[in-house]
Amino acid sequence: MSVNYGSKRTVVGAHYGLRDWLVQRTTGALMALFTLIVLVQLLLSQGPIGYGVWAGIFSHQWMKLLTFAVIVALAWHAWVGVRDIFMDYIKPVGVRLVLYVLAIVWLVGCAGWGFQVLWRL
């Protein structure tokens, strides 16, 4: 006599769990730190906040490197979130693949645009 204890679960991305959790927390912390740094620099600036103040904040090499890291972190953070949403809610594999490709193209394009603005290419 066989006993059925429930349906078998299909595991689609078993290796994603802890890694994605760490990526989301790490990239989120980096973006929060970046936001605090920019806010502090804005609060410490004197006079009206215009183009000169913004250009001054991002003129230092360390700030450009930090901003570069934040752009990469933002794209990675968004990718993990969007991919998880697609895995959870889009069941047809073909549709999910098309959405993955569109999301990747969009995120790479946005990151490239951010780099272009940052480095004035």
pTM: 0.82
Query: What separation in angstroms does the CA of 1 have from each of 5, 18, 113, 115?
Result: 13, 38, 63, 64
pLDDT level of residue 2 (50, 70, 90 thresholds): low
Which residue, among 77, 74, 79, 72, has the nearest Cα to 103 in the 3D structure? 79
Largest distance between two CA atoms of the chain: 82
pLDDT of residue 16: 65
Can you give the residue ranges of every domain in the chain?
A: 18-120
Residue 15 in marked binding region: no
Residue 77 in marked binding region: yes
pLDDT level of residue 47 (50, 70, 90 thresholds): confident
pLDDT digits (tens, 9 = 90+) for 49-100: 999 999 999 989 999 999 999 999 999 999 999 999 999 999 999 999 999 9
pLDDT of residue 9: 58
What class is the 18-120 domain? Answer: mainly alpha
Which residue, among 104, 98, 111, has the nearest Cα to 67 in the 3D structure? 111
